[in-house]
Structure 1
Amino acid sequence: MNFVQNIRLALASLLANKLRAILTMLGIIIGVAAVITLVSVGEGVQDVVVSEFEGLGNNLLFVIPGQPDANEFTGNVVRTSLTNDDYLALADTQNVPDLLRVAPTYGRPAIITRGGEEARTTVTGTTPDYTGVRDFAPVLGDFFTEQDVLGATRVAVLGQSVYEQLFPDGESPIGETIRISNVNFRVIGLMEEKGGSGFNDQDDVVLVPLNTAQRRLFPARLPDGEYRVDQILAQVISEDRQDAAIAEMGLALRQSRGITFRDEDDFTILSQAEVVGALGQITGVLTIFLGVIAGISLLVGGIGIMNIMLVSVTERTREIGLRKAVGAKRRDILWQFLVEAVMLASLGGLIGLLLGAAGAYLISSLSDTLDARVAWNSVALAILFSAAVGLFFGIYPATRAAGLNPIDALRYE
């Protein structure tokens, strides 16, 4: 008996017991659909996270306080504070000639009100170079100046999301008064739409002068009289000067912070590529984890296939005996049941693939930012794995069928 005949026999057997075949394939269908959907969502989340960090600006370096504790494997970080002096040391072109711009940030959550309207957002204090570092400029009005920073003036620039909440009628915000944590501020600018996602809306922000945030809104004075900042953003003059800039920044910060040559750094400098790569690894591991969980359903489905094939062998014992009596060889019976098991799993995998792709499309259509794209590698893996499941769990029933004695099989009631 050739391969085509085995396929015909398998199809005839499946069509003769449609309901049982569908119920048997259910585990494979659910497993493959879950794998395709979850992996597609994981790929989409990874794309969103990477695109958001790439959208922060060009050739960025991030300075954050603290260093990972080398003696701990829990990810604990020994925290120290960055200060205005650190920012000024990096902003000095004599210290770090390979930096184009430097902008510190210091922000806290706050409630913004205007009349009867209210918005809960993050108020970030920074300097005028923030627009260049982040490639994020006002579309209406102006950004605050260095004089506003030095004078700690009460002026604010709104992000698009905050503007829509405080000015639902779409009127111009320029010159209007808003209250940030019960302190009056005059709106002088409206930022362009930067975009974001459900994870991080980059337009959900209010920008104020650094000294205003540190001294009038969220006191940031340290016991030694310095004012702390959360992080420092630095833009390198060109990508090929990044390593040189990092070395220069490290030296300038060590001098600013009084770190001796024997002591370790108490700050961390991260490149944009490092941040994107780390986040990519995290989301990649999460995608694999979700795929493994969904793959358990495939194993459960495989056990179901083996169970049904054993029942099928029992039901068709006389048929097996008759085929052997008229000349069918052991390998013919073996291949007949193996092909049937593989077809059962493959059809379930195909149906699961279609359902998984439909689920990914549905999730994408419900989200404005998440593109749950179906990756071809996950499709190939799901189909091959489902066929392998059918082959693996079909071997025992097929071997049992092939090993039946024809005389005993013909006498079976």
Structure 2
Amino acid sequence: MNVSEPRHGRLRINYQVHGRARLTDAGFARPMQRMILVDLIGDVLRTLWAHKLRTFLTMFGIAWGIVSIVLMVGAGEGLRVGQAKVAATLGKDVMIVFHGRTSLQAGGTRAGRLVRWEDPDVAVVQAESPDCQYAIPELEQDTVQIHSNYNNAALTVTGSLPPFGEIRSLDVAQGRFYDWDDQREARRVAFLGSDASKQLFPGRNPVGENLYLNDFPYTVIGVMASKKQDSSYDGWDVNKIFVPFAAMRRDFPDKPPETPTTFDQLLVTPRSVEQHNACKAEVRAALGRMHHFDSNDKEACPIWDTVEEAQAFRTMTDGMKYFLGAVGIVTLLLGGLGVMNVMMVAVRERTREIGVRKALGARRREILWQFLIEASVLTSAGGLLGILFG
């Protein structure tokens, strides 16, 4: 620091901080009052540039914490959403009710008795299950011989009621799905799975074409949109042919020991996710009364509950998301501790500069502002980098 001759009655004082000359007018007792925000930011940037490695490592700690939070929480949420979409390809909120054997004695009947669902069960379940939106039968036959004018195949044929397309997520790519008029009149109309369509009508639009199912003539009314199905209870939908339940019952009757009125499984959907437990209990109670088994006998009436599976998976992914988010927050806190340590080192290194400034009249608040801006620049730059790369 040196003192120059007075000019115009004012004393000029030059002092040097970090190798830079600073000119201050002693006529104003507190030179830091004249340092505007731009000067403060300029000093901060020069200080950070003078310690490039330290600045980079500090910013990297903040950026890595932000990236960790974004990636970990995003990965957990992406896994949950992706699994929900894939699970919905089987059917949204659907419960498949299979028939089984009794494991409990009930109404004087022995355990181990075979239970089969029959056509009258559908109306009873619908009437006695107010928490269920749909309860429809499904009847199927494997390896049916299919003939078209272009190719032959052995495929699974499934018969059900018109809500089946909505329940099982059979989106229409061409034409339409069968409706209640088709069901009432037992029309021989067929809705093809996407792969079945390609196999039977390669490179052609099959809508309106004829094909034979075990020598019964059917007309193609629609084709299903392709879908990736990760689970199944009777084969992939893309390889099936879907027909009205009445036509299926007439043209493909069950063989002994089945009876002309039995069907394979009952498809049930609740009115809402919150009602699915009540819906399931109502279905078991109605079927138990019709077939004389204890409604608590899960072996007699096994149910594949996709709603329950989805809730369990959601609980697992939520836990994973919160755990990964906590790991990211800890990483970010460690980055914050790094900033704190760097600022403590910076204060110790600049003790002489702080002393000179206080000697020249700088107030404590003005000195704190400079270090606050320096910390803000570090954390803001690190945060922006983390958001950019996250």
Range into which the TM-score falls when normalised by the shorter chain: 0.5 to 0.7
Structure-2 separation of matches of 1:34 and 1:52: 27
Matches within 5 A, 1:13-412: 13-18=47-52, 20-40=54-74, 42-47=76-81, 62-64=95-97, 84-85=116-117, 89-92=121-124, 95-96=127-128, 101-104=134-137, 125=158, 127-129=160-162, 130-131=164-165, 133-134=167-168, 136=170, 139-140=174-175, 157-160=191-194, 163=197, 169-170=203-204, 172=206, 189=220, 192-194=223-225, 204-207=238-241, 232-234=267-269, 248-256=282-290, 258-260=292-294, 263=296, 280-328=314-362, 333-356=367-390
**Structure 1 unaligned runs (5+)?**
67-79, 214-220, 357-413
Q: Secondary structure at the match of 1:172?
A: coil
Instruction: Give the SS at the match of 1:233.
Output: strand
Aligned residues: 323
AA partner of residue 172 (structure 1): P
Q: Distance in 1 between matches of 2:45 and 2:139?
A: 68
Change in CA separation of 1:255 and 1:341 when aligned onto 2, cut-off 3 Å? same
TM-score, with structure 2 as normaliser: 0.54
The C-alpha deviation readout for 1:79-112, integer Å capped at 9, x for no partner, is x9996417752344685475675335699999xx
- Report Cα offsets for 1:176-198 as digits up to 9, x if no partner: 699xxxx9999964754557569
After superposition, what is the alpha-carbon deviation per residue over 1:366-407, rounded to whole angstroms, capped at 9, x for unaligned? xxxxxxxxxxxxxxxxxxxxxxxxxxxxxxxxxxxxxxxxxx
Separation of aligned partners in 1, 2:76 and 2:141:
30
Larger radius of gyration: 2
After superposition, the Cα gap between the structure-2 partners of 1:281 and 1:330, relative to the gap in structure 1 and judged at 3 Å, is same
Aligned amino acid, residue 64 of structure 2: I
| Contact preservation (8 Å) 2:69, 2:329 | yes
In 1, are the aligned partners of 2:122 and 2:137 still within 8 Å (CA)?
A: no
Conserved in 1, the CA contact under 8 Å of 2:137 and 2:161? no
Q: 2: distance between equivalents of 1:95 and 1:46?
A: 35
Distance 1:134 1:296, change over 3 A: same
Uncovered stretches (5+) of structure 2, i.e. residues with no partner:
1-31, 100-111, 249-255
| SS of structure 1 residue aligned to 2:48 | helix
Q: CA RMSD in A?
A: 6.2
Query: Could you report, residue by residue, the CA deviation over 1:87-139 in whole angstroms, capped at 9, with x for unpaired residues?
Result: 752344685475675335699999xx99xx9x9xx968552442364474764
Corresponding letter in the other structure for 1:102: A
Matched residue SS, 1:13: helix
TM-score by length of 1: 0.51
